[in-house]
Amino acid sequence: MKKQTEILATFGYLGKAPVAPGTFGTLGAIPLALLFMPLGPLGDMVATVLFAGVSIWVAQAYESESDSHDASEVVIDEVAGGLIAFTWLTTWQAFVAAFVIFRALDALKPFPVGWADKKIEGGLGVVADDLIAGVITSVVMQILLVQTTWFGVPINPTF
């Protein structure tokens, strides 16, 4: 296997964590989400969508090179899903809530997350369930942000 593919797929070896590699992968999304934040709402979303596309390509390359489907050390899918979950969030409380919701959806795999996990093959199949979990989390978080005052003062007030 190519070293570059392994580094990307495991997101800098976060996927090699001895326990809960998916959780470590999701945590790896947080610094990226913070880096995307200054891009503004549209730039944040565009960067996240581009990362999701790259993650599908990397997952496919890893699958082809390793001859395994959705290996536990591949966490670039959790990073991509986490980025979607964290899109447009501006407080640490919102990040914590989104992290918990996303991890629960990824672990429990309710419909349509579980359907995508079982039915879609290849690199897209590796990433699709996490993208769906990220979208669901993002929608829930946007509703909570608009309808409640639970999430404190923004990290970046200009966002």
Kindly give the confidence (pLDDT) of every residue in the chain, 159 residues in length, as a single tens digit, with 9 standing for 90 and above.
699 999 999 999 999 999 999 999 999 999 999 999 999 999 999 999 999 999 999 999 999 998 887 889 999 999 999 999 999 998 999 999 999 999 999 999 999 999 999 999 999 999 999 999 999 999 999 999 988 888 876 665 555
11 in a structural domain: no
CB 124 within 8 A of CB 96: no
Give kind and range of the element (H or E) at residue 51: helix 40-66
24 in a structural domain: yes
pTM higher than the cut 0.95: no
CB 73 within 8 A of CB 21: yes
2 Cβ neighbours under 8 A, 6+ residues apart: 61, 65
The number of folded domains in the chain is: 1
70 in a structural domain: yes
60 in a structural domain: yes
Domain hosting 73: range is: 20-147
49 in a structural domain: yes
CB 27 within 8 A of CB 149: no
63 in a structural domain: yes
CB 81 within 8 A of CB 131: yes
CB 89 within 8 A of CB 36: no
